[in-house]
Chains A and B, each alone.
Chain A
Amino acid sequence: MLHDLFDGYTRSILVFTGVNVLAAYSFYLPFKTGQVSLGQAGFMAIGAYASAVLTQKFGVPFAAALPVAAVVAGMMGVLVGFPALRIKGIYLLLLTLGFAEIVQVITLSWDFVGGAQGFRQIPFIPSILEYVVALIIVLVLFFARLERSSLGRAMDAVHQDETAAEVMGLDVVRIKLLAFGLGAAIAGLAGALYAHHATYIDSNSFNIMVGVEILMFVIIGGSSTYWGPLLGAGFLTLLPEFLRTLRDWLELVPVAWTDFFPMNRVYDFLHDALDFENAKRLIVYGIIIMVMMILRPDGLLTRDSLRRLTMPRGA
Chain B
Amino acid sequence: MAVCLDIKGLTKRFGGFFALNELDMEVTTGNIHALIGPNGAGKTTFFNLLTGLLAADEGAIMFEGRPLGEARPSRRTARGIARTFQNIRLFPHLTALETVMIGEHCRAYASTWHALGSAVLRRPFGEGGVERRMRKNAMELLSLLGLAAHANERASNLSYGDQRKLEIARALATQPRLLLLDEPGAGLNPNETAALDETITRIRDRGITVVLIEHDMNLVMGISDRVTVLNFGTKIAEGTPGEVQAHPAVLEAYLGEDVKP
Contacts and interface: CB of A to CB of B under 8 A. Distances in A.
A241 interface: no
B100 to A, nearest CB: 10
Contacts of A170: 74, 102, 105-106
Contacts of A173: 72
A169 B107 CA distance: 9
A151 interface: yes
29 contacts: A142-B120, A150-B118, A150-B119, A150-B130, A150-B134, A151-B109, A153-B94, A154-B105, A156-B94, A160-B92, A161-B91, A163-B89, A165-B102, A167-B77, A167-B83, A168-B82, A168-B103, A168-B105, A168-B171, A169-B74, A169-B77, A169-B78, A169-B103, A169-B106, A170-B74, A171-B74, A172-B74, A173-B72, A174-B112
Contacts of A171: 74, 106, 111-112
A164 interface: yes
Interface string A97-112: 0000000000000000
Given A151-B116, A169-B78, A172-B74, 6 more contacts: A146-B120, A150-B119, A156-B91, A165-B102, A169-B106, A171-B106
Interface string A141-164: 010011011111110110011011
Contact of B170 (A145, A148, A150, A168): A168
A1 to B, nearest CB: 24
A175 interface: yes
Contact of A145 (B89, B107, B122): B122
Given A167-B73, A167-B83, A168-B106, A151 B94 contact: no
For the complex of A and B, the 3 pairs showing the least CB-CB separation, nearest first, are A169-B106, A149-B119, A169-B77
B163 to A, nearest CB: 12
Contacts of A148: 127
Contact of B91 (A149, A150, A164): A164
A168 B102 contact: yes
A152 B120 CA distance: 11
B77 A149 contact: no
A148 B102 CA distance: 13
Contacts of B111: 171, 174
A151 B112 contact: yes
Size bracket, chain B contacts = 35 or more
A167 B116 CA distance: 20
Contact of A151 (B72, B83, B119): B119
A166 interface: yes
Looking at B51, B91, B103, B170, the one whose CB has the most chain A CB atoms below 10 A away is B91
A178 interface: yes
B93 A156 contact: yes
B67 to A, nearest CB: 19
Size bin of chain A's contact surface? 20 to 34
Q: Which of A165, A167, A171 has the most CB of B within 10 A?
A: A167
B131 A150 contact: yes
Contacts of B171: 168
A220 B4 CA distance: 52
Contacts of A146: 119-120
Interface of B: 51, 53, 72-74, 77-78, 82-83, 85, 89-94, 98, 101-103, 105-109, 111-112, 115-116, 118-120, 122, 127, 130-131, 134, 170-171, 174
Nearest to B119: A149
A203 to B, nearest CB: 34
Contacts of A152: 119
Contacts of A149: 115, 118-119, 122, 131
A148 B119 CA distance: 8
A151 B106 contact: no
A173 B116 CA distance: 14
Interface in A105-150: 142, 145-146, 148-150
Contacts of A165: 91, 102
A142 to B, nearest CB: 7
Contacts of B51: 167
Contacts of A178: 112, 116
B115 A151 contact: yes
Contacts of A156: 91, 93-94
Contacts of B105: 150, 153-154, 168-170
Contacts of A161: 89-91
A157 B102 contact: yes
Interface in A229-249: none
A142 B73 CA distance: 30
Contacts of A175: 112
A171 B91 CA distance: 16
Nearest to A149: B119
Given A145-B119, A156-B91, A166 B101 contact: no
Contacts of A167: 51, 53, 73-74, 77, 83
